[in-house]
């Protein structure tokens, strides 16, 4: 097993705690406060994962360190958290580029999951975050079960940033926990707008070539940096 420094573990713990605060600030969470967050410890086969069922009052003692095969190396996992360990580790194994994973029951995007409806690129922010393909729905199976994990992995591509969990919630993943929260926030906004737009008619999907253009434009301006007088 790869050795890791105390500083690397501490940084991963801090990243998870910061992500929890950001989720609560954005409101992309259910009233129950349920959710889980993880961070890959760079250069290792270990992760930091929330060890409790809720994230609204997350503290250092609520975190655990695990190996990618699911072994608890430090901390104590509550039963509700232990159930979903492999939901996280399977994504890290499938996607070595992923550094952070977030799961919540954010209400609007979960409505799409309950309706078994993929979330199309209907909102410019999705394109700017390179979420051009529809966010897929992983078929339902009890949370954390082998079937559930297999369904999630089957729905993920090399470019995926999220997957809807049928009758359950959403899983987002990116280069860091904070980036995964940003993806969650964009998708929750998009889902809310999609539901509202349905009352006015059918939401319109951004054509792929225009979504790619929007993404390139965002990247070009980001590369230029701030504009000063």
pLDDT of residue 2: 64
CATH number for the domain spanning 15: value is: 3.40.225.10
Report if residue 229 sits inside a domain. no
Instruction: Find all residues with CB under 8 Å of 205, minimum gap 6, and list them.
Output: 120, 121, 122
Report if residue 228 sits inside a domain. no
Pairing of strands 162-165, 137-138: parallel
Report if residue 54 sits inside a domain. yes
Report if residue 1 sits inside a domain. no
**pLDDT average per 10 residues of sequence, the chain (229 residues):** 85 98 97 97 97 96 97 96 97 98 98 98 97 97 97 97 99 98 99 97 95 93 92
Question: Domain residues for 174?
Answer: 6-223
Number of domains comprising the chain: 1
Report if residue 37 sits inside a domain. yes
pLDDT of residue 1: 60
pLDDT of residue 213: 94
Report if residue 132 sits inside a domain. yes
Whole-number Å distance between alpha carbons of 138 and 159: 16
Regarding pTM above 0.85, the answer is yes
Backbone angles phi, psi at 81, to 5 degrees: -80, -40
pLDDT of residue 3: 76
Report if residue 45 sits inside a domain. yes
pLDDT of residue 187: 99
Whole-number Å distance between alpha carbons of 148 and 168: 11
């Amino acid at each position: 097993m790869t050795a890791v420094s105390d500083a690397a573990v501490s940084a991963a713990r801090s990243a998870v705690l910061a992500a929890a605060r950001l989720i609560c600030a954005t409101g992309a969470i259910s009233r129950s406060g349920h959710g889980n967050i993880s961070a890959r410890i760079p250069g290792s086969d270990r992760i930091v994962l929330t060890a409790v069922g809720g994230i609204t009052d997350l503290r250092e003692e609520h975190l655990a360190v695990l190996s990618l095969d699911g072994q608890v190396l430090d901390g104590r996992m509550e039963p509700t958290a232990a159930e979903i360990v492999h939901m996280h580790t399977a994504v890290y194994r499938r996607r070595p580029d992923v550094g952070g994973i977030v799961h919540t029951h954010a209400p609007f995007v979960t409505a799409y999951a309950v309706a078994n409806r993929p979330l199309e690129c209907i909102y410019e922010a999705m394109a700017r975050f390179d979420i051009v393909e529809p966010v897929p729905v992983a078929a339902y199976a009890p949370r954390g079960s082998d079937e559930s994990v297999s369904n999630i992995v089957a729905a993920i591509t090399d470019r995926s940033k999220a997957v809807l969990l049928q009758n359950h919630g959403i899983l987002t993943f990116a280069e860091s926990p904070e980036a995964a929260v940003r993806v969650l926030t964009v998708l929750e906004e998009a889902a809310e707008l999609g539901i509202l737009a349905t009352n006015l008619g059918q939401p319109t999907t951004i054509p792929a070539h225009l979504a790619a253009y929007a993404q390139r434009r965002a990247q070009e301006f980001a590369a230029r940096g701030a504009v000063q007088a």
